[in-house]
């Protein structure tokens, strides 16, 4: 909710045809624009990280046993949607990291058999149309998450304002002291993408795009889906996958 509200504030002055200039303008001209952009950045990061913690908590408490296959699969689907919402946020700001990540993601999506080109046309198409499609997908996916998760959680419990205030304060701390840095676009193949994408970038150095960028990221999603049926085997797969991804990320950051 905090990420959505701050995103609405940023959406009015943002112009997708000049993303980097527009983002710099928001920081330098719009009142409290630099604070709001940083706040949006960190609330998005926190949404992703707390979702990861929530998934681990759900697996450890075996709450998946109480859910139907449909509800469990829909809940698992919220994870890749959140990842895309976070990833697309980097792409649409149009700086060095975003531009590099966008072109890599487009090339990976096009590797998907049969419907890769259609999917790319819907959510990316950065080569043909810049960040326009990604910007619209970022907004649509974010609101889809908000509506779906609020509908699910508000029927179980009411939102406590003190919880919302707590996470707002947590997000404000890095916002005030460590604002996200924009880097001018520089065509350098060694540029790193978002921190959660570095492991994929490193794997792309050693394996074909289809296996490194499509098959490998799909493994933990499938393991989560089938956790309800094969909990022990899927737990081993998830532990092994994340251990390997951590090693790949460390190697990628050390280059």
Q: How far apart are CA 85 and CA 128, in angstroms?
A: 21
Average pLDDT value for residue range 129-147? 93
Rounded Cα–Cα distance for residues 234 and 240 (Å): 10
Burial of 118 from C-beta contacts in 10 A (0-12 / 13-18 / 19+): exposed
Q: Evaluate whether 77 touches 126 at the Cβ level (below 8 Å).
A: no
Look up the CATH architecture of domain 2-182.
Up-down Bundle (1.20)
What confidence tens digit (pLDDT) does each residue in 61-114 have?
988 888 888 888 888 999 999 999 999 999 999 888 898 899 999 999 999 999
Question: How far from the centroid of its chain's Cα atoms is residue 91's Cα?
Answer: 10
Asked if 194 and 252 touch (Cβ cutoff 8 Å), the reply is: no
What average pLDDT does range 189-218 have in this prediction? 90
Over residues 162-188, the pLDDT tens digits come to 888 898 999 999 998 888 888 776 655
Q: Take residue 91 and report the two structure tokens written for it.
A: 């792409």
């Amino acid at each position: 909710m905090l990420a959505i509200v701050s995103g609405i504030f940023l959406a009015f002055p943002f112009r997708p045809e000049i993303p980097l200039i527009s983002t710099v303008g928001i920081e330098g001209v719009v009142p409290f624009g630099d604070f709001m952009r940083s706040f949006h950045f960190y609330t998005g990061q926190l949404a992703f990280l707390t979702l990861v913690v929530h998934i681990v908590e759900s697996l450890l408490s075996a709450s998946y046993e109480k859910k139907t296959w449909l509800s469990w699969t829909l809940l698992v689907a919220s994870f890749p949607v959140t990842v895309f919402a976070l990833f697309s946020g980097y792409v649409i700001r149009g700086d060095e990291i975003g531009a590099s990540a966008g072109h890599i993601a487009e090339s990976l999506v096009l590797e998907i058999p049969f419907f890769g080109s259609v999917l790319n046309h819907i959510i990316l198409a950065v080569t043909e149309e810049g960040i326009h499609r990604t910007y619209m997908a970022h907004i649509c996916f974010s609101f889809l998450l908000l509506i779906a998760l609020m509908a699910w959680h508000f029927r179980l419990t009411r939102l406590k304002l003190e919880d919302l205030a707590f996470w707002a304060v947590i997000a404000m701390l890095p916002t005030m002291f460590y604002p996200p840095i924009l880097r001018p676009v520089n065509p350098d193949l060694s540029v790193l993408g978002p921190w959660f994408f570095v492991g994929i970038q490193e794997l792309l150095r050693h394996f074909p795009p289809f296996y490194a960028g499509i098959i490998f990221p799909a493994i933990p999603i499938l393991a989560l889906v089938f956790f309800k049926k094969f909990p022990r085997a899927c737990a081993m797969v998830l532990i092994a996958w994340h251990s390997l991804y951590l090693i790949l990320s460390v190697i990628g950051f050390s280059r």
